[in-house]
Amino acid sequence: MVLKSAHMSTVFSIPLVVLAPKHKRNCQNILRLQAEYTIERLAFATGTKRRVTLNRISDQHRGAVLADKISREQRSRVMSRVRSFNTQPELIVRSLLHRMGFRFRLHRRDLPGSPDLCLPKYRAAIFVHGCFWHCHSCSHGSKRPASNQQYWSQKLQGNVRRDAAAISALWVRGWKSLVIWECELKSPKLADRVRKFLAAEREAKPKGTPNS
């Protein structure tokens, strides 16, 4: 598949590969990522005003996509449109809590860090973090783009500092915090972890970093 704009000389090509049926899903995921990012770059080049498709790419793949060498202006436009609220991982956690019978509020701006989910009855805040963006200790969180390393290091470490500061500030206000990582969403133990967190007393002091 080849995509070309009438306003530009560069052709973005997407290789189509025939794979065995058992690899069909992986092939579809790869081609979807390539196609969405190719369309995104075409939109930048032609000035097309459209919603950034990068928002629909999972957090674990988004960092790898952004590692491609694009200009600072293009990267800035992509980053400004990366969805902060109502991400797919958030929706999964919301659905889980709802099925468990818990009710919650979303993104309370009057609380430090605007937690993704708040349960005032339990004075509990839940953050749903992408492994790449918040530097989890898993394999996805430990990866770093090969290009523009200084920029990414400063940005990601800034996220970590803000996370720790938010958890500490919540603790001072009498709230307990739970961080759910994207890589944990398929764990069969997640529901039990959430239930134990809500039933437990608040910690004596907050953790130094949210990477546990």
- CATH dotted code for 88-199: 3.40.960.10
For 43-95, write each residue's pLDDT tens digit. 444 444 344 344 444 554 555 455 555 566 665 555 544 545 678 999 999 99
In tens, the pLDDT along 95-117 reads 999 999 999 999 999 999 999 99
pLDDT in tens, 33-57: 555 555 555 444 444 434 434 444 4
Listed by start position, the domains of the chain span 2-80, 88-199
CA distance linking residue 98 with residue 193, whole number of Å: 15
Q: Given phi > 0 = left and psi -120 to 50 = alpha, else beta, which region is 36?
A: alpha
- Rounded CA-CA distance 107/191 in Å is 21
